């Protein structure tokens, strides 16, 4: 998928996550925005992409198809670079907060992918209704439990690197973990 299309769908994911959080927690948008940092959204991008995968279904790995094993876990490289280069059109992401640039306008061209993103968010919350309550670093810790990250990051480090591409097939076929074993909700 072209980078510009992928970035639009990542921003759609942000909008959907914020809307879902507002609804579930009965909060105003500014409160919901304060919950989501750049790191947390990058981590959510991975879990939302991987939640509906198995050996027959690639979930959203055909949309978000460029994950790398990096020190903070799985990172979709095209999305990360777009954030870093200031290419998001609807949202500003800083290290600690999310802000709106302008009102998000849906693009009917992507209605199928938008629907798949919404379904993946629902699936993620079905597996763990408290998923959005995890901090960014708890999501990092959770992604470090995934075989795909451990395997590929270990190979990268053995080669003197801090990142390496993760083949989508590894994510697709591995056991999925959506709960921290030592998580105690506040």
pLDDT digits (tens, 9 = 90+) for 83-126: 999 999 999 998 888 888 888 877 778 899 999 999 999 999 99
Residue 184 confidence (pLDDT) above 80: no
E runs forming strands in 16-61: none
Name the residue ranges covered by the structural domains of the chain.
3-173
C-beta separation of 15 from 90 below 8 A: yes
For CA atoms 66, 68, 74, 80, the dihedral sign is negative
pLDDT (0 to 100) of residue 186: 47
Backbone torsion region of residue 81, taken as left when φ is above 0, otherwise alpha when ψ lies between -120 and 50, otherwise beta: alpha
Predicted model pTM: 0.94
Average pLDDT, the chain: 93
Range 10-15 average pLDDT? 96
């Amino acid at each position: 998928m072209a980078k510009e299309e992928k970035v639009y769908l990542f921003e759609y994911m942000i909008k959907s996550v914020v809307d879902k959080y507002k609804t579930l927690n009965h909060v105003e948008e500014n409160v919901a925005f304060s919950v989501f940092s750049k790191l947390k959204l990058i981590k959510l991008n991975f879990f939302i992409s991987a939640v509906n995968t198995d050996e027959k279904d690639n979930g959203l790995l055909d949309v978000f198809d460029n994950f790398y094993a990096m020190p903070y876990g799985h990172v979709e490289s095209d999305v990360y670079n777009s954030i870093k280069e200031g290419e998001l059109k609807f949202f500003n992401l800083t290290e600690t907060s999310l802000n709106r640039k302008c009102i998000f306008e849906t693009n009917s061209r992507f209605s199928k992918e938008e629907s798949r993103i919404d379904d993946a968010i629902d699936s993620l919350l079905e597996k763990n209704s408290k998923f959005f309550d995890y901090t960014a670093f708890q999501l990092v810790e959770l992604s470090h439990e995934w075989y795909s990250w451990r395997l590929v990051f270990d190979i990268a480090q053995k080669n003197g690197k801090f990142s390496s591409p993760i083949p989508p097939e590894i994510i697709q076929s591995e056991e999925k973990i959506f709960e921290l074993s030592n998580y105690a909700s506040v």
